[in-house]
Amino acid sequence: MSIYFHLKIAGALLLLLGLGHGLFGRYFNWERELAQLSLLTRQILVVHCFFIALTVTSIGACTLFFTNALLWSGELSRVLLTAFVAFWLARLIFQLFVYDPAIWRGRAFYTAMHVVFSLFWTYVVLTYGAALRLAWQS
């Protein structure tokens, strides 16, 4: 499969993930948990979640709908791809080293999600990394 195809897959999955952020609050029962926080802290968390969703959705849409532009060897594509690699590499590092393993240990669904997202972030980093390498070679 070509890097073009992998970018399309990554873009579509990131777009779905970004749009899916709207469901996280219900699943994790944030209304009850956030009620215990001060108004400022609660609103900061809600605003940050919105902007994370917007960022992930934007990266996914950019990748899915402007794949050719990302693969074109130009300064903007190199800058964007470098930013995407850095962003998702940081996310992978956080997945592996920041989340406390107590979250998923002994919980089959959370363990599965940890593995799935670890593999997903790895795939995204490798995909954007391959596209960046290609952009520098062209």
* CA-wise closest residue to 131 among 92, 93, 74: 74
- For residue range 9-48, what is the model confidence (pLDDT) as tens digits? 999 999 999 999 989 888 889 999 999 999 999 999 999 9
pTM, full prediction: 0.92
Six token digits for residue 30: 């944030």
Evaluated on CA atoms 27, 30, 22, 83, the torsion sign reads negative
Beta strands in 9-115 (DSSP E): none
For residue 38, give the amino acid letter. Answer: S
- Residue entry with tokens 């670890």: 118
Instruction: Determine the pLDDT at residue 28.
Output: 87
**Which amino acid belongs to residue 43?**
Q
pLDDT of residue 25: 87
Q: pLDDT tens digits for the chain (138 residues)?
A: 899 999 999 999 999 999 999 898 888 899 999 999 999 999 999 999 999 999 999 999 999 999 999 998 899 999 999 999 999 999 999 999 999 999 999 999 999 999 999 999 999 999 999 999 999 887
Distance CA 89, CA 94 (A): 9
The span from the CA of 50 to the CA of 59, in Å, is 14
CA atoms within 13 A of residue 94's CA, in its CB half-sphere:
7
Contact at 8 Å (CB) between 34 and 45? Answer: yes
